[in-house]
Structure 1
Amino acid sequence: MRGHRYRVTIEHLGTPRDGMDRQPELVFEAVNHDDIIGIVQRIRASGHYSEDEAASLGIGLKLFSEVMLKRKDDPLFAALRPAISSFIGGLKDRNRAGSGEAA
């Protein structure tokens, strides 16, 4: 499959309450048509989110939307498609405005 290939690692660092077990590390690979790291850098540069929030937003959104794109015929995603498209457009506009780029 063509695209940017990523290995995603999630490490459970803590729990909300004492006595809860931490989950084992989760590692998986994902392919995305976009440069996710570049997207996170642009979100961070916009100054609207903390470094960690920008990474969470960019990575989560791009991983989710890539599955939605690959599963375009799945009716589960039908109601979300227009809203996600609008949200991504708004995020791009905000990032351009925050970085001083022309829209």
Structure 2
Amino acid sequence: MEKRNNKYQLYLKELSLKDHSEGTKELSFNFDNHDDLFQIFEVIQSKKIFNDETTGQEFALGLKLFTEVMLKNKQHPLFEDLRPAIMEFMKKLKSS
């Protein structure tokens, strides 16, 4: 049975750099995630974990991109030591 995932496209554009020069780079890619990311953005915002909406969105997107890669690569040795801590962190986040 094929696993169903939500499909997304991420577009990232460099606006300006710390040396005050104009950004020139862009990146776009498609990815899937087993969760509804927009619903997660709403949940993080409603919990008021952070003082502003942008920080909550950055947190949620970064966490979901990272943990989805971990899930897809469960056996990769890179995640071996981190997996238990992430699992605990996710339980704590979901219960707050």
- Gaps in structure 1 of 5+ consecutive residues: 95-103
SS of the equivalent of 2:9 reads: strand
Distance 1:84 1:14 in 2: 33
Percent of aligned pairs with the same amino acid: 38
Distance 2:56 2:20 in 1: 29
Distance 1:76 1:38 in 2: 29
After TM superposition, list the pairs within 5 Å mapping 1:1-103 onto structure 2. Answer: 2-19=4-21, 22-49=23-50, 50-94=52-96
Distance 1:60 1:72 in 2: 18
SS of the equivalent of 1:86 reads: helix
What is the TM-score when the length of structure 2 is the normalising length? 0.88
Q: Which has the higher contact order (CA 8 A, sep 6+)?
A: 1
Q: What are the superposed Cα offsets for residues 48-88 of structure 1, whole Å, 9 maximum, x if unpaired?
A: 21111111111110111111100011000111111111111
Q: Which runs of 4+ in 1 moved over 4 A?
A: none
SS of the equivalent of 1:88 reads: helix
Quickly say closer, same or farther: Cα 1:14–1:74, change in 2 above 3 A: same
Distance 1:23 1:44 in 2: 31
The CA RMSD over aligned residues, in Å, is 1.4
